Amino acid sequence: MSAVIDTAAKPEVITFTEAFSRALHDAMEMDPAVITLGEDIGDEEGGGIFKVTKGLSTKFGTDRVKTTPISEQAIVGAAIGASLAGMRPIAEIMLMNFITVPMDQIVNHAAKLRFMSGGQTHVPITIRTRTGAGAGTGGQHSDMLEAWFAHVAGMKVVVPSTPADAYGLLLGCIFDNDPCLFIEDQLTRTQTGPVPVKGEIIKLGKAHIAREGTDVSVIGYGRPVRDAMVLAEKLAAEGISVEVVDLRTVSPLDTETVLKSVAKTGRAVVIHEAPRSFGCGAEIAARIQESLYSELKAPVLRVASRDVTVPFSRVLEAAYLYQASGIEAAIRQTLEKRAAR
Amino acid sequence: MNKSFTPATLLEIYRKGRLINLIDERFRGLLRSGRLAAVYYSPRGQEILAAAMGVHLQQTDYLVTTYRGIHDQLAKGIPLRPLFAEYYAKATGACKGKGGPMHITHPETGVMVTTGIVGSGLPIANGLAWASQLKKDGRVTLVTFGDGASNIGAFHEALNMASLWKLPVIFLCQNNLYGESSKYAKCTAVDNVAERAAGYNMPGVTVNGNDPEAMWRASGEAVARARAGEGPTLLEAKTFRFMGHYFGDPGAYIPKEEYDAHLARDPMPIARAAVLSSGAATEAELAAYDDEVNAKIDDALQFAADSPFPDVSEIDIDVYGAAA
């Protein structure tokens, strides 16, 4: 199924923001244990800086929808505590860089309480956060830090690449029984896609073949997957068949689906927005070569952003960010290797 | 709340305190002889304050405590067998040997979180209390921590939020005058931790935690306030720890005169004398209680010793839950 952006004025599309919002409304309607908290999220405060939580406090009351002080440790801690008592809290951390503040709560507690308690307790929380470079927000409002959390056992990390996935995966996080980090991209928030089916949960931990192909597997999550889908369409005209593997859940990684795809194509390009070094791409590339070394027709390549602080100037920011042209070049490079053999 | 502090109440507190005291003595003996190998943070000296708080709590109330938390857990009613087996890293431990002494969890008795990170329990306690507020289940949450925790950001974030939301939570600061090896006054800018409550518009009470009656009264008021939906209290129990920060800490940073002065006011023998003079129990009855507790300790130690270590396959269990 193609997830290519369709900007034509059809009635049956929604934006990412609408999808996030719908998921929250539907989850709160589906289960009274679902509660949410975060900075500015109530309607009195405008329904959140990004309007994702708009209408929630009016509809579900300010007991279940709590505007908080700017206190990220208290926000995540309260979510953890409430989850231990049987609730399904959704904590909004306005921007991903602010998640550095409650790292203790997330890493030492949310991720580990199930294991350290021998399974007596668990922490079914969802932390929603927003980030992404390209909007001129500079060094402390743009970082993709998903690799930090993917590195911690017990955490689940989810990044959607279409509005419909955003809806289904956010529900998946909310109704999952482990702590989930759900990352919303600030650059594509107004982009649209097909409308999801109400109440349809996408189960976590399963990658999605967003486009089938036979020559090369492009593996990623979030915004770069959208670029890969456009590229795949373009390259198809040249007779290059690109398979796009949308991980959906970054961690735990669906290794099986990734390996199956690469076993078929023999070539892999791993893509992400986060900086290249020590990123999730390195882990994915390592798993591929560990299992498929002898079947690979070319080295596994990575396309990612530069290992620098996200700059402010648009010129520099563009130089920082991974480029669709870079993904295209990597795809072509893996195919050249075939020719070289 | 029953306002009169009766000899029976004193006896109840003493007995809880003595349980902690005897277990702590036994553990230290086992650690010294090498028969127990575990990280251990002795509560010696802090027994009475935990007991005097404990008598106000129901089994269904929640507790969030710290690595120095065995007194809080026992006062909350945790059974000895799973507790000891966890110290022994056995499969029959409360956490199947996967958490250890610093992470004791026992939801049946409300022991929800034991954390090894200073100050981090307070925000979590708020969440437990928030759930109780939403469910109107009448439970209160007790979170205990040391004086050092009042200097970390999470403490301040949590107090502010608890006050704003009128959460049914009791913040119990066990001020034992030392944060690891550093004196209280060297690290904390106010004379009493409870003064910090003023900044969060909640009652702040400083009490001699080693005085059974004073601690019982102050705890009772804080619990009643939380239970009535009137919001949180910051209760500071002044106390002293006799065995240093961790087991094996020689405590060279504590001047001898200071240590001796505290030892002269050791709350356990004082409470014992008070029980006897109140007429609540006789020497013989207290000795019989010790025998009873020692028998329970023997049983739990035997249980722990006899239990198997966890199967290695446990390492892959409880990382994630079953697929939702």
- If we measure between CA atoms, which residue out of A219, A191, A202 comes closest to residue A158? A202
Band (B3; pLDDT cuts 50, 70, 90)? confident
Q: Do B154 and A74 touch (CB under 8 A)?
A: yes
Band (A10; pLDDT cuts 50, 70, 90)? low
Q: Do A77 and B105 touch (CB under 8 A)?
A: no
- Containing structural domain, residue A154: 13-194
- DSSP string computed for A35-89: EEEEET-SGGGTS-TTSTTTTHHHHH-TTTEEEE-S-HHHHHHHHHHHHHTT-EE
Each residue of A200-216: pLDDT tens digit?
A: 999 999 999 999 999 99
Each residue of B181-217: pLDDT tens digit?
A: 999 999 999 999 999 999 999 999 999 999 999 999 9
* Cβ contacts of A293 within 8 Å, gap of 6 or more: none
- Please tell me which of the candidates A66, A71, A87 has its beta carbon nearest to residue B157: A71
A181 neighbourhood in chain B, CB within 8 Å: none
Q: Please give the structure tokens belonging to residue A116.
A: 């350290």
How many helices and strands, by DSSP H and E, does chain A display? 12, 14
What is the CATH classification number for the domain harbouring A290? 3.40.50.920
Q: Of the candidates A194, A228, A252, which is a domain's last residue?
A: A194
- pLDDT given for residue A1 in this prediction: 42
- pLDDT given for residue A341 in this prediction: 42
CA distance B63 to chain A (A): 11
Residues A170 and A216 in one domain: no
- pLDDT given for residue A5 in this prediction: 54
Dihedral (C-alpha) A211, A217, A220, A223: value to the nearest 10 degrees? -50
- If we measure between CA atoms, which residue out of B46, B107, B61 comes closest to residue B82? B107
User: Which residue out of A25, A122, A141, A272 is catalytically annotated?
Assistant: A141
- DSSP string computed for A116-154: HTTTS-----EEEEEE-SSSS--TTS----HHHHHTSTT
Each residue of B113-148: pLDDT tens digit?
A: 999 999 999 999 999 999 999 999 999 999 999 999
Q: What is the mean pLDDT of residues A226-253?
A: 98
Cβ atoms B137, B103 nearer than 8 A: no
Cβ atoms A33, A64 nearer than 8 A: no
- Please tell me which of the candidates A80, A116, A156 has its beta carbon nearest to residue B95: A116
State whether residue B222 sits within 8 Å of chain A by CB: no
CA B117 vs. chain centroid, Å, equals: 15
The answer to whether residue A326 is domain-embedded is yes
φ/ψ of B274, rounded to 5, equals -65, -40
Kind of pairing between the strands at A242-246 and A208-211: antiparallel
The answer to whether residue A4 is domain-embedded is no
State whether residue B52 sits within 8 Å of chain A by CB: no
CA distance A38 to chain B (A): 12
Q: Do A109 and B128 touch (CB under 8 A)?
A: no
Residues A63 and A126 in one domain: yes
Q: Do B161 and A69 touch (CB under 8 A)?
A: yes
Q: Do B127 and A35 touch (CB under 8 A)?
A: no
Each residue of B267-294: pLDDT tens digit?
A: 999 999 999 999 999 999 999 999 999 9
Q: Do B134 and A108 touch (CB under 8 A)?
A: no
- pLDDT given for residue B322 in this prediction: 84
Q: Which domains does chain B have, with CATH numbers?
A: 7-60+116-302 (3.40.50.970)
Residues A189 and A232 in one domain: no
- DSSP string computed for A209-274: EEE--SSEEEEE-SHHHHHHHHHHHHHHTTT--EEEEE-SEEES--HHHHHHHHHHHS-EEEEEEE
Cβ atoms A38, A75 nearer than 8 A: yes
**Percentage of chain B with pLDDT > 90?**
96
Q: Structural domain tally of chain A?
A: 2
State whether residue B49 sits within 8 Å of chain A by CB: no
Each residue of A52-74: pLDDT tens digit?
A: 999 999 999 999 999 999 999 99
When the pLDDT of each residue in chain A is averaged and rounded to a whole number, the result is: 95
The answer to whether residue A86 is domain-embedded is yes
B158 neighbourhood in chain A, CB within 8 Å: 73-74, 77
Q: Which of A104, A123, A126, A158 would you mutate first to test chain B, the one with the most B CBs within 10 A? A: A104
A156 neighbourhood in chain B, CB within 8 Å: 320
Query: How many contacts (CB atoms, under 8 Å) link A and B?
Result: 164
A73 neighbourhood in chain B, CB within 8 Å: 120, 123, 153-154, 157-158
Residues A159 and A298 in one domain: no
Q: Is the pLDDT of residue B2 over 60?
A: no
Q: Please give the structure tokens belonging to residue B191.
A: 């004379």
CA distance A121 to chain B (A): 8
Residues A135 and A248 in one domain: no
The answer to whether residue A100 is domain-embedded is yes
Residues A147 and A213 in one domain: no
Kind of pairing between the strands at A13-15 and B182-183: unpaired
B112 neighbourhood in chain A, CB within 8 Å: 81, 84-85, 121
A86 neighbourhood in chain B, CB within 8 Å: 131, 135
* Cβ contacts of A258 within 8 Å, gap of 6 or more: A207, A217, A219, A245, A247, A284, A287, A288
B141 neighbourhood in chain A, CB within 8 Å: 81
Residues A47 and A184 in one domain: yes
Per the listing, tokens 């800018």 go with B189
CA distance B164 to chain A (A): 9
- B208 three-class SS: strand
Q: Please give the structure tokens belonging to residue B271.
A: 């409470």
Q: Is the pLDDT of residue A340 over 70?
A: no
Q: Do A66 and B165 touch (CB under 8 A)?
A: yes
Looking at residue A107, what DSSP letter applies? Answer: I
Q: Please give the structure tokens belonging to residue A270.
A: 């791993």
Which comes out higher in pLDDT, residue B323 or A262? A262
Q: What is the mean pLDDT of residues A164-169?
A: 98
pTM: 0.96
Q: Please give the structure tokens belonging to residue B114.
A: 């034991």
CA distance A25 to chain B (A): 19
Residues A115 and A239 in one domain: no
Q: Is A141 a catalytic residue?
A: yes
Q: Do B95 and A120 touch (CB under 8 A)?
A: yes
Q: Is the pLDDT of residue B243 over 90?
A: yes
Each residue of B142-165: pLDDT tens digit?
A: 999 999 999 999 999 999 999 999
User: Angle B295-B213-B294 (CA atoms, 0-180°, nearest 5)?
Assistant: 5
CA distance B67 to chain A (A): 13
- If we measure between CA atoms, which residue out of A240, A235, A229 comes closest to residue A265? A240
**Percentage of chain A with pLDDT > 90?**
95
The answer to whether residue A2 is domain-embedded is no
Q: Which of B83, B145, B161, B166 would you mutate first to test chain A, the one with the most A CBs within 10 A? A: B161
Range of weakest confidence among B94-98, B243-247, B258-262: B243-247
Residues A281 and A162 in one domain: no
Q: Do A77 and B129 touch (CB under 8 A)?
A: no
Q: Of the candidates A194, A219, A242, which is a domain's last residue?
A: A194
Residues A140 and A273 in one domain: no
d(CA A216, CA A262): 7
Q: Which of B135, B140, B157 would you mutate first to test chain A, the one with the most A CBs within 10 A? A: B157
Each residue of A81-129: pLDDT tens digit?
A: 999 999 999 999 999 999 999 999 999 999 999 999 999 999 999 999 9
The answer to whether residue A3 is domain-embedded is no
State whether residue B275 sits within 8 Å of chain A by CB: no
Residues A273 and A220 in one domain: yes
The answer to whether residue A303 is domain-embedded is yes
- pLDDT given for residue A8 in this prediction: 52
Band (B323; pLDDT cuts 50, 70, 90)? low
Locate the chain A residue with the closest alpha carbon to B315.
A115
What is the CATH classification number for the domain harbouring A76? 3.40.50.970
- Please tell me which of the candidates B103, B319, B321 has its beta carbon nearest to residue A177: B321
Band (A2; pLDDT cuts 50, 70, 90)? very low
Question: Rounded to a whole number, what is the largest CA-CA distance in chain A?
Answer: 65
Residues A24 and A115 in one domain: yes
